[in-house]
Structure 1
């Protein structure tokens, strides 16, 4: 399926990783739908200027806006809503930290201690954000979702041979790399470590090893295939995305997997 990929503006450097991943996925969903901003306004009830802010990372979209975009694009919203929850927690944490810093600076300028309520609320907010964020990210990464909302098939259900046992749990070992024997099966490239075509990569794992092997096979060397999504892998992904006409954000998601597998 050919998607009309928009040449998006670069996202603000102040945007954190959770918010950045959410915006990237919303952009890709808009590209996939083929809808203009004017069409989104008429179909979702959110104005064109609001969508411009949301899709350029200037403000966080409300949860209902994410649901509406998924609805008009014809996809199951669960995975996007998990990303939204994580991004919301991160956004609130960053906003709360900034407000606390301003309050502390004002108190210092007045030669007075920061208000007790401010200190306590910030500590509670940071702790709550850390706990909820860890739970939500764990859910997202442990159970990647396909675009129709279903779980991806594990290696045990794959028709091609796997380079690791189907039930092997990935454990990073410093200095250890994995061999890359890429083969084409059923019209797609596989290295034998994962069958995913939708997972958003960030944490160490077999999906990352698979992506690293495919990157190397396609001529974008990420360094050793160690399963860690580090700077070398990010740079290799950006080069691949730039050549393929995708937003060069360095994040592997469904669109980038489509290029890696073909």
Structure 2
């Protein structure tokens, strides 16, 4: 039984499950990777990528493996479908338990609030007492200053409670606050527009072009993307091989189409696009 290398860190569980079943089926057959390549019609380098998790196999390769080793193709194809959907939904990010958010207590007021002293009824204020700021009972000045101090203390208490409430909101619910800002329109969220590709076929100097790229030598493999991949998909479509859409992404369906085209044009079958495959598709 082969000793397999550990899968890359952070690989999606659906992809890992598919690779584990492919490895188990290969080990059960007792075939080497080279023998498996000869039996299925897919290159050794392709099976090395499939069995290491670096690329997803096309459905035809999975069916060929199941036929060679006597495995259940329905289960393997279901695992492949789940892995393809996981790759399309983006890179897998393992979740980690979040730490408890510390609670913040309201800030106490800087001056303690003391019980109000009994206020004596104001007496007649004399001009001399008023001008001198007399604090004696009966002048009316003592009562006004006492009320002013009480209002200041109540105001400081209210400010402290308000600051504490804001701190609790920011610490406990930062995600909700950010979402509210986004919804209200005060924070602009940039969403990139998807790139669209079309096939505008023209023939120049005896070669076919689809209007996305003029390359005839660029090496393309699984998981690459861009205009050159869109050009490849258009040329595959013109050759009568369906790549699964013109989206500029070299996925399992495009790889399967490349393999079919390489068999059709009697080229080396490896699922990769080089000068020979470009020449056949543009010819």
Quickly name the TM-score band, shorter chain normalised.
0.3 to 0.5
Greater gyration radius: 2
TM-score for the superposition, normalised by structure 1: 0.36
Q: TM-score, normalised by structure 2?
A: 0.33
